[in-house]
Each structure stands twice: as structure tokens, then as C-alpha cells.
């Protein structure tokens, strides 16, 4: 197995809205990834990527985002739940790439103001991720009551999330390593 | 069984591993007549380099065009 290169798992913060609680979640998950040996990460903010809205797909690729996804072995997507759905800008960004995703791992953290931790947006996002060629893990990150989970400086107030995200990231790293080996060594032919 | 020549990594010069075939529907929309009639889109082979990990694609030739 290729152990020389660290596993690269960027965190995609999937909303551009003001006052987004998902930003705290994304920074928290990013921080937990930074603690893992043999793993590199980056925080990708949808707000920081300027995409035209009068076209779609590969025609409007952002070169930095494509390079990041191309290098990635796995992805964390942090998405709020807006009326049970995912933000349009997140979908718009994800749709700009295709081959970059094939046989790479992805885990989703759902963020909601209510008590269901974004479970409905995660369920809605899964078929999209599958069609993009990504391989989903079965652990999710579910962040309920997101506006009250962090203090005004973005510090996590409920330590139980540390343990939950540890499980989530362990499976994501495992899947990322396995799929890297598969991409590089297990032939379809 | 895919009998085509192995893809060679343009960066490392080593044989790449063919690990996926993926239908690209958008490409079929952009290039009329390019879609494989059996799949409704352009089938792309995904190959990854075991040395650098980069993935490159090429069209799959399941049904050569007449």
C-alpha cells in the first residue's frame, strides 16, 4: 500500500450565508483532522470560490478547487440543512468536477438548528455524491442545535462531539486508505 | 477484458491502473453524437497512477463508432 504520501482529506464548508453555524462545525472538524498522524487537510470555503451562475459543470471549474479535489483521497462535506435540502451553491460547486471524485471517500456532517442534526440533508445529498463517483461512509456527523453548540469565539461547548467525530474520521481515513490502494492497484480489467 | 494499451502516467511514466468506468452525461450534451447509445452518455475510463496518485481519464471504446 502507498504509505509514503499522507492521506489528504479537505473539509468543504458548503454554505455562503451570513451567520452560518456550519463554519464553526467545519473549523472544528478541520481541527480534529489536523491532529491525525499521516493525514493532511485543508478548509475549502464555498464562499471563497467565485463561480459564475449562468453556466455549470466543467465549463466553470475553479482551478484551485479542482486541484484540491484531484489531490484528495477523501472529503468531508459540512452542509447545513435548508428546508431539508442542501445549499444550491454547494451543489453548484460539486458539479464542476467529475473525474476528480471517482472512487474517493466522502463523509458528510449535517448541521441544523433543530434536533435532527441535518439527517435529512445528508439523506438528500447521498445520491448526488454517489453519482459523482464518490464512496460514502456510514458514519455521519450530526450537529443539532448548531447555534448553541459553540461559543461566540467558535469554541465547542459540547465535548461529546469530539468522540463522535473521532469515530466519523476513523472510518473516513480507513476508507480513504482502502480506496487509494484500490485506485492505484486493483484493476477493473 | 480490456485489451487496450495501458495508460501511462504523463508525470511519472509508469503504467496506470484502470479502476473505474464512469458515464459523463454532460459531455454527451456538449458533443452531440458522442454519447454511447447503450449508456446515454460518454463512458470514460478512470486510470490512477500508483506512483503519484493522479487520476486521468480517456473515452472507453466499448462500441467503436461506424
Predicted ipTM of the assembly: 0.87
Mean pLDDT, chain A, integer: 96
Q: Does the beta-carbon distance from A184 to B50 stay under 8 Å?
A: yes
Which helix H or strand E contains B57, and what residues bound it?
A: strand B55-59
Q: Does the beta-carbon distance from B19 to A100 stay under 8 Å?
A: no
Residue B56 region, left (φ>0) first, then alpha (ψ -120 to 50), else beta?
beta
The number of beta carbons lying within 10 Å of the beta carbon of residue A4 is 6
Does this model's pTM top 0.90?
yes
A-B contacts (CB, under 8 Å): 60
Per-residue confidence (pLDDT) for residue B40, from 0 to 100? 84
End-to-end CA distance of chain B: 22
* Predicted confidence band of residue B2 (pLDDT cuts 50, 70, 90): low
The number of beta carbons lying within 10 Å of the beta carbon of residue B41 is 17
DSSP secondary-structure letter at B8?
B
Per-residue confidence (pLDDT) for residue A2, from 0 to 100? 46
Tell me the per-residue pLDDT of A79-98, one tens digit each, with 9 for 90 and over: 999 999 999 999 999 999 99
Per-residue confidence (pLDDT) for residue B4, from 0 to 100? 83
pLDDT, mean of each 10-residue run, chain A (189 residues): 80 96 97 98 97 92 97 98 97 96 98 96 98 98 96 95 98 98 97
Per-residue confidence (pLDDT) for residue B62, from 0 to 100? 59
Per-residue confidence (pLDDT) for residue A1, from 0 to 100? 45
Q: Does the beta-carbon distance from A102 to B55 stay under 8 Å?
A: yes
CB A113 within 8 A of CB A146: yes
Q: Does the beta-carbon distance from B19 to A183 stay under 8 Å?
A: yes
Q: How many Å lie between the alpha carbon of B34 and the closest alpha carbon of chain A?
A: 17
Over 70: is that where the pLDDT of B64 sits? Answer: no
Per-residue confidence (pLDDT) for residue A120, from 0 to 100? 98
Q: Which residue has the cell 491525525?
A: A36
Which residues in chain A touch residue B58, judged by CB atoms under 8 angstroms apart?
none
Tell me the per-residue pLDDT of A126-149, one tens digit each, with 9 for 90 and over: 999 999 999 999 999 999 999 999
SS (H, E, C) chain A: CCCCCCEECCEEECCCCCCCCHHHHHHHHHHHHHCCCCEECCEEEHHHCCCCCCCCHHHHCCHHHHHHHHHCCEEEEEEECECCECCHHHHHHHCCCCHHHCCEEEEEEEECCCCCCCHHHHHHHHHHHHHCCEEECCCCEEECCHHHCECCCCCECCCHHHHHHHHHHHHHHHHHHHHHHHHHHCCCC
Phi, psi of A38 (to 5 degrees): 75, 10
Which residues in chain A touch residue B53, judged by CB atoms under 8 angstroms apart?
2, 5, 71, 73, 180, 183-184
Amino acid at each position: 500500500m502507498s504509505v509514503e504520501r499522507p492521506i489528504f482529506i479537505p473539509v468543504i464548508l458548503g454554505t455562503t450565508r451570513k451567520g452560518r453555524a456550519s463554519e464553526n462545525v467545519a473549523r472544528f472538524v478541520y481541527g480534529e483532522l489536523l491532529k491525525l498522524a499521516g493525514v493532511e487537510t485543508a478548509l475549502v470555503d464555498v464562499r471563497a470560490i467565485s463561480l459564475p451562475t449562468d453556466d455549470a459543470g466543467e465549463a466553470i471549474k475553479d482551478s484551485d478547487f479542482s486541484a484540491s479535489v484531484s489531490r484528495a483521497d477523501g472529503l468531508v462535506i459540512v452542509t447545513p440543512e435548508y428546508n431539508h435540502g442542501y445549499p444550491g451553491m454547494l451543489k453548484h460547486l460539486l458539479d464542476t468536477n467529475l473525474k476528480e471524485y471517482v472512487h474517493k471517500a466522502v463523509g458528510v456532517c449535517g448541521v441544523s438548528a433543530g434536533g435532527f442534526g441535518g439527517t435529512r440533508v445528508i439523506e438528500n445529498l447521498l445520491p448526488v455524491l454517489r453519482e459523482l463517483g464518490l464512496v460514502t461512509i456510514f458514519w455521519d456527523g450530526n450537529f443539532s442545535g448548531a447555534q448553541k453548540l459553540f461559543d461566540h469565539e467558535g469554541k465547542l461547548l459540547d465535548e461529546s462531539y469530539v468522540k463522535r467525530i473521532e469515530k466519523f474520521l476513523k472510518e473516513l481515513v480507513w476508507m480513504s486508505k482502502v480506496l487509494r490502494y484500490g485506485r492505484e492497484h486493483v484493476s477493473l480489467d | 477484458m480490456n485489451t487496450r494499451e495501458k495508460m501511462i502516467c504523463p508525470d511519472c511514466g509508469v503504467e496506470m491502473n484502470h479502476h473505474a468506468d464512469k458515464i459523463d452525461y454532460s459531455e454527451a450534451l456538449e458533443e452531440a453524437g458522442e454519447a454511447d447509445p447503450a449508456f446515454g452518455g460518454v463512458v470514460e475510463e478512470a486510470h490512477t497512477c500508483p506512483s503519484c496518485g493522479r487520476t486521468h481519464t480517456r473515452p472507453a471504446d466499448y462500441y467503436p463508432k461506424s
